[in-house]
């Protein structure tokens, strides 16, 4: 197995050790290759690792490739991994069934090194292009941080994880104080500079790789803090507030100014909730906490 995780990852599922070794030999030098000798092992690896592409044998002793593909497609964690079937079957019906179940390609044995290499390369290039497009669609063009769409995707997965693991999930809602007056006084170009500096300051303050900031819209930002109770969320919120307040902003005129932010903080334990609908109520309460921070003098943190 290649441990270079910077390479795209290919999972080969085949119960024939000779074919497994042959495919691994073809792909090993270019990709992070992982192998599984049966369907169950392949399903476990597909769920565990960040797999970019699966090469799947059609006929295996423990379960058929059809069943493996059906189970991959049934799981939210693996349904989007492209699958190429590699098989000795010459049946057009088998090929049609593979494609109908969601496979992206079908390679017949005996295969050649050139065909396997080119087919894999083409599909991985398509995957890389799709990921690049997806990343652009989830990124705010001005600040470079994730946008509201990215937040919507992450909060759903974070909520589901917290529910399964019986952990707390905290969220911070942030708003730049008197941003309209800032724009009116200093102009929209300086307003854009302000947004970029605030976003960068927040991002630099977050120390854990699991914590992320998002541009919610306008001058509002949101931070998702997985596995974080309210005490921890309040500490991070105060640190973010202090760092933004002390961050100097040099305007186009050469003048240096500072801005402040108000924050609403909340924590929730989804495992103890009766309905995911309560996520909507949670955000309504976050908005109220942010509004209280504004009403109570700004440049402060209020919690639910």
pLDDT, tens digit only, all 304 positions of the chain: 444 457 899 999 999 999 999 999 999 999 999 999 999 999 999 999 999 999 999 999 889 999 999 999 999 889 989 999 998 888 889 989 999 989 999 999 889 999 999 999 999 998 888 888 877 889 999 999 999 999 998 998 898 888 888 899 999 999 999 999 999 999 999 999 999 999 999 999 999 888 999 999 999 999 999 999 999 999 999 999 999 999 999 988 889 999 999 999 999 988 766 666 688 889 999 999 999 999 999 999 999 9
Q: Are 169 and 116 contained in the same domain?
A: no
Domain assignment of residue 143, yes or no: no
Q: How far apart are CA 238 and CA 285, in angstroms?
A: 19
Domain limits for position 94: 9-136
Given 3-state DSSP classes, what are the helix, strand and coil percentages for the chain, each rounded to the nearest 5? 50, 20, 30
The span from the CA of 142 to the CA of 219, in Å, is 12
Residue 116 sits in the same domain as residue 170: no
Judgement on whether residues 153 and 79 belong to the same structural domain of the protein: no
Among candidate residues 91, 106, 136, the one where a domain is terminated: 136
Number of separate domains in the chain: 2
Q: What is the DSSP letter of 272?
A: G
CA distances from 22 to 90, 94, 115 (A): 20, 23, 13
Is residue 3, in this structure, part of any structural domain at all?
A: no
Q: In terms of domains, do 294 and 154 share one?
A: yes
Q: Using the 3D structure, point to which of 136, 158, 176 is the last residue of a domain.
A: 136
H helices within the chain, ranges in order?
17-27, 39-48, 65-74, 92-101, 113-137, 148-165, 179-186, 188-205, 230-246, 278-295
Query: Is 113 among the residues known to form the active site?
Result: no
Shared domain check, 121 and 73: yes
Q: Are residues 182 and 297 in the same domain?
A: yes
Q: Look up the CATH number of the domain holding residue 120.
A: 3.40.50.2300
From the list 3, 167, 219, 302, the catalytic residue is 219
186 and 126 fall within a common domain? no
């Amino acid at each position: 197995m290649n441990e270079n995780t910077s390479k795209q990852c290919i999972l080969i599922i085949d119960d024939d050790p000779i074919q497994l070794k042959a495919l691994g030999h073809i792909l090993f030098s270019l990709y992070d290759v992982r192998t599984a000798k049966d369907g169950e092992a392949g399903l476990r690896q597909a769920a565990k690792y960040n797999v970019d592409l699966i090469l799947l044998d059609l006929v295996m002793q423990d379960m058929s490739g059809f069943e493996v593909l059906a189970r991959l497609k049934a799981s939210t964690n693996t349904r989007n991994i492209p699958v190429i079937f590699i098989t000795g079957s010459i049946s057009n019906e088998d090929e049609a069934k593979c494609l109908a179940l969601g496979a992206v390609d079908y390679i017949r044995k005996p295969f050649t090194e050139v065909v396997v290499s080119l087919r894999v390369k083409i599909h991985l290039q398509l995957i890389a292009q799709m990921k690049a497009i997806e990343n652009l669609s989830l990124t705010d063009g001005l600040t470079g941080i994730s946008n509201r769409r990215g937040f919507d995707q992450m909060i759903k997965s974070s909520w589901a994880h917290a529910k399964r693991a019986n952990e707390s999930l905290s969220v911070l809602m942030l708003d730049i104080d008197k941003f309209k007056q800032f724009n009116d006084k200093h102009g929209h170009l300086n307003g854009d500079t302000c947004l970029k500096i605030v976003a960068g300051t927040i991002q630099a303050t977050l120390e854990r790789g699991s914590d992320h900031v998002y541009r919610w819209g306008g001058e509002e930002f949101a931070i998702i803090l997985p596995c974080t109770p309210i005490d921890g969320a309040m500490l991070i919120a105060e640190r973010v507030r202090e760092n933004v307040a002390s961050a100097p902003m040099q305007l186009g005129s050469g003048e240096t100014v500072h801005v402040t932010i108000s924050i609403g903080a909340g924590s929730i334990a989804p495992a103890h909730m009766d309905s995911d609908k309560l996520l909507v109520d949670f955000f309504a309460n976050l908005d109220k906490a942010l509004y209280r921070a504004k009403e109570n003098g700004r440049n402060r943190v209020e919690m639910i």
